[in-house]
Amino acid sequence: MTFRCIIVDDNEVDRLTVSAYVRRFPFLEITGIYGSAEDALADIQSSDPQVLFLDIDMGDQSGLDLRRALLEVEACIFITSHPEYAVDSFEVAALDFLVKPLHLDRFTASMQRLESYLEIKNKSHLFDHSLQGDTVFIKDGQRQHKVRLSEILYLEALKDYTRIVTTERKYTVLSTLGNLLRESPFTGFVRSHRSFAVQPHFVQEISSNDLLVNGISIPIGRSYKDQVLHQIRG
């Protein structure tokens, strides 16, 4: 599948940079490139986007204002020189927040997350799950997968969904990460980041910025660092 996207930034060089990066990913089709939020809104019916790439500080109408006007658009990624807007961006349902200057490896990681989210969002069936003792049953269409909680390495937030990663494969359930962590079987997981929670017994190493979980690097958010050190190191 391909998904329509628009790019809005009042800086011409930044517009060119973002568009060049986006064109590296065939699942995205650029249907509009704009220098202001006003121009984007005026043309929104023609561009009909499913993804927004928005600068934030753009004069009279900011990228945050534009997102508030377009909350029905499935995914929004902010790209800005102002990291202090990160909290505000997630309050308007941002999927990701990138800080300029852009780096290809960080942009690629964001696009991988975006593609996974869009594919899940657009599947014809919904994922669901139920819990029974030390087991979670995950519904995928007409099939039920039985997963032992002890086999789950970590959980990853994908907006309205959560990816459950085990030693064998990945599953997705229709639940936010926050809601899943409030269910009693998952209370032993440690939230290391806004988008991740890990199973402590799989943690192999702890550094200042990430955890190594079964050979996979999981980020540690600044606001979660003390909690992670306390719960995992004891």
pLDDT at residue 147, as a whole number: 87
pLDDT at residue 139, as a whole number: 74
Q: Where are the domains of the chain?
A: 3-121, 127-233
Reported pTM: 0.60
pLDDT at residue 125, as a whole number: 41
Q: For strand 210-213 and strand 216-219, is the pairing parallel, antiparallel, or unpaired?
A: antiparallel
pLDDT at residue 54, as a whole number: 98
pLDDT at residue 183, as a whole number: 84
What is the spatial order of strands in the sheet that 3-8 belongs to?
A: 28-34, 3-8, 51-54, 75-80, 96-99
In this structure, which CATH number among 3.40.50.1380, 3.40.50.10800, 3.10.180.10, 3.40.50.2300 belongs to the domain 3-121? 3.40.50.2300
Each residue's pLDDT, cut to its tens digit, for the chain (234 residues) gives 799 999 999 999 999 999 999 999 999 999 999 999 999 999 998 899 999 999 999 988 999 999 999 998 999 999 999 999 999 999 999 999 999 999 999 999 999 999 988 887 766 444 456 656 678 888 766 677 888 888 999 999 988 889 999 988 888 888 889 988 988 778 889 999 999 999 999 999 998 889 999 999 999 998 898 888 888 876
pLDDT at residue 142, as a whole number: 62
Question: In the chain, where do the E strands start and end?
Answer: 3-8, 28-34, 51-54, 75-80, 96-99, 127-132, 135-140, 143-148, 152-158, 161-166, 170-173, 190-193, 196-198, 203-206, 210-213, 216-219
The CATH homologous superfamily for domain 127-233 is LytTr DNA-binding domain (2.40.50.1020)
